[in-house]
Structure formats: structure tokens, C-alpha cells
Chain A
Amino acid sequence: MGAEVVTVSTDTQFVHLAWQRDEKLLEKVKYPMGADPTGNVSSMFGVYDEETGLALRGTFIISPDGTIMNSEVNYYNMGRNIDELMRKFKANLHLSKHADEGCPAQWNDKGDKTLKPSADLVGKVYEALQ
């Protein structure tokens, strides 16, 4: 997918091993499973819950120069949509190569219309997207 994907919880790498080995659903998991037992990294990203010692469901896209381009945090009981994560990642890749463009709300993949902010576009976004 062109990115280093790391899943992170406050479990140790040993628990990660046990879980991945035992849980059939995780048979196909290929991403490194990061261990943050101190909660330091979770805290740095603002997803550490001091009361439980657990990390909230946070997703962060970091550019190759180390800048956070997207952040999304869900509470415990709400899952994430991987399609939406992929959409954001693809949009980021596109915009990193076309800094003068914008990916509008309905942008899904390469080839979809982007917008170039200009005087002509003011008040004419609907027409530009047709």
C-alpha cells in the first residue's frame, strides 16, 4: 500500500504475539504490531486514557517528513472504516505531488476531479465538479 502501517496498543509485543497466534481473525494480519506499555507514544498522540491505561481508537497519517496530515480518534465502542482511511491516504499521496490542488469531499481515487483554488472558482465549485 506504500506506507508503513503499524497497529499500536498498550499491550506488550509478547501479548501481540499470543493474540495474533490464537485469534483466527488475525491469521492474515501482516502489519507490525507496536507495543506501547508505558503509554508514552499514545500520550504523545493524545489518545492515552489515563483512567484505563488504554489507547483510544486513533488513526494518524504521517508524511515522509514527519508531519501529521490526518488524525481521527474514535471512542472505545466505535470501529473505523478502512475504505475511508485508504481514501484519505490516497488523497494525501495525490496532494503531496500536486500541492496546488484540493481533493473535494467526494474525491475517492486517482482520476476523480480535484479543484484548483483560483478567483474563477469562487462561487463556482458546483460547476467545476460537473
Chain B
Amino acid sequence: MNAEPNLTVRTTGLSQPALPGAPGTSTMPSDSYRRTIVIRNPQGFHMRPAAALAAAARRFQSQATVIHGDRRGNARDILSLLMLLAGFGSEVTLEVRGPDAAEAVEVLAAILGAEEPPDPVPPTPVPKKG
């Protein structure tokens, strides 16, 4: 058996701080972070959370990848995220690499581990009468 260094400490949602070197987040060289998250949305990781994750991922320079089993999804690409097939209770791994990875891993992990996704688009305001 290979004695590879363990890079993953499992966490659920945001139950652990994600500062570099803090419990719950593994730090790899060059501003890289890896976190394991349990999908807690009862409907699984469906289209709305995927859209929310993609919108959030596009705000960062870092590259983020979500891994479920043998499937890998680019966090900026809704269609590739839909192909993760991650149902309720599934464990997915989030990998983030880049100059703002420390912040990105926090934001993206929160969306992945949320029971309800944030709205990526603000609701249309109701016009005032009169």
C-alpha cells in the first residue's frame, strides 16, 4: 500500500474553518485547497444549486473542480456540474486552485453544502402602484 500523505480531512458543510492549515481543509502547494462536503439539499445537487455554484465560481480567478466518484465537473460550467449526479447525502470533493483560492473555497463549499441554494439572480422587483 502506498504511503501517500493524506490530503483530505472530511468536513460537512461549513462545520470547520477553512483557513489554510486549519482543521477541515487540506492545503496543497500554490494556493490550493481541497474539501470534502456532504450534499444536504434534499433534491440533490440539481440545476439551481449548480447555477448558483457556477455563478459564484465565475467571480473568482481560481479554478474550481467538483468531484463525485469518477466524475469531475468544472465549477464554472453548469452542464458539467449537472453530470456529477450527486444526490442527497453524497460526498463530493471540492478542489480550488489559484490566487484567491482561500476565499473561493469558503464561498463554494457553502453553496455545495447548503440545504437550499442562494438565488443566483435577484428576484424581479414588483412595480409600485400609483
The answer to whether A and B assemble together is: no
- B: residues with CB less than 8 A from A are none
